[in-house]
Homo-oligomer: A and B are copies of this chain.
Amino acid sequence: MKKHKTRLIKIGNNIVIGGKEIQIMAGPCTVETYEYTKKSAHACRIAGAKILRGGAFKLRTMPGTFKGLGEKGLKILRKVANEEKMAVISEVIDAKDIDLVSKYADVLQVGERNMQNTLLLEALGKAKKPVLLKRGKSAQISELLYAAEYIARNGNQNIILCERGIRTFENDTRATLALASVPLLKEMCDYPVIVDPSHATGKPSLVPPMAKAAIAAGADGLLIEVHPEPKKALCDGFQALIPVEFLKLMKELKLIAKAVGKKI
């Protein structure tokens, strides 16, 4: 089947996703303090990541767990990103927060639980920032594309799709990274496709091999959790890389990128 030519999406002033350059979005799962965010961002930028990730609004499975700092978290994220000359991606969990998050972030992320929250998707269709849409953990490829269409039909075609693992009978990993979705999506649409090996595997030791596999399979970017002290993280620390692991991974990724005719 013929691949579509991937649509180029501009992020911030000088970053493009979908072209020859693979974009790495890295940082803590959730923004907790300026210090941790700064340490993580600095390490990520030094290693070559250009986009800082970090959640300020979170949907959590268990009630009573940390839900993010809200606007305070967004301010920390923006301040650190400016200092490090990075762009920012952060999650939106409610249509009413789109304007607020858009003030601080360069990419608006839709989490997997919200992939079929069509009210949110329609509102994002009117947003001025690109949207990163994560595949729901029980979503067929066609359902991910319908979800993207909810955004696109409302005026915003700057959409990045993200494979983050599906729910299967496998219980050794947090989810099953269904990497064939990357080349399949490339045949079915022209949106850039990135991969989140951190949430997919839930294990730091599996993040590097799956990150490399994603680039080899044709992904346009990666979303990776990096935390300076994972054991102290308030959310999902168990799956974060520490800065030195991330630095090593980035070196390896550059070789893979080159092998598939791209660069990082």
Contacts and interface: CB of A to CB of B under 8 A. Distances in A.
Interface of A: 1, 59-64, 93-94, 113-114, 116-119, 136-138, 140-143, 146, 149-150, 153, 166-173, 176-180, 182-184, 187, 200-201, 203, 205-206, 209-210, 212-218, 252, 255-256, 258-260
Which of A64, A141, A179, A256 has the most B CB atoms < 10 Å from its CB?
A179
Given A213-B217, A217-B209, A259-B258, A176 B166 contact: yes
A156 to B, nearest CB: 13
A-B pairs, top 6 by smallest CB distance, nearest first, are: A138-B138, A216-B216, A213-B213, A255-B259, A183-B209, A213-B217
Contacts of A187: 205
A180 B166 contact: no
Nearest to A3: B205
Given A61-B116, A62-B146, A180-B177, A138 B259 contact: no
A94 B119 contact: yes
Which of A60, A61, A136, A252 has the most B CB atoms < 10 Å from its CB?
A61
A259 B259 CA distance: 7
A63 B146 contact: yes
| Copies of this chain per assembly | 4
Contact of A117 (B117, B141, B149, B168): B117
Contacts of A255: 259-260
Contacts of A256: 216, 256, 259-260
Contacts of A184: 172-173, 206
A143 B213 contact: no
A176 B171 contact: no
Given A173-B180, A215-B216, A256-B216, A205 B1 contact: yes
A172 B141 contact: yes
Nearest to A121: B63
17 contacts: A59-B117, A59-B119, A63-B118, A63-B149, A93-B119, A94-B119, A114-B117, A136-B138, A140-B170, A166-B169, A166-B170, A180-B201, A180-B210, A210-B217, A213-B213, A213-B216, A252-B259
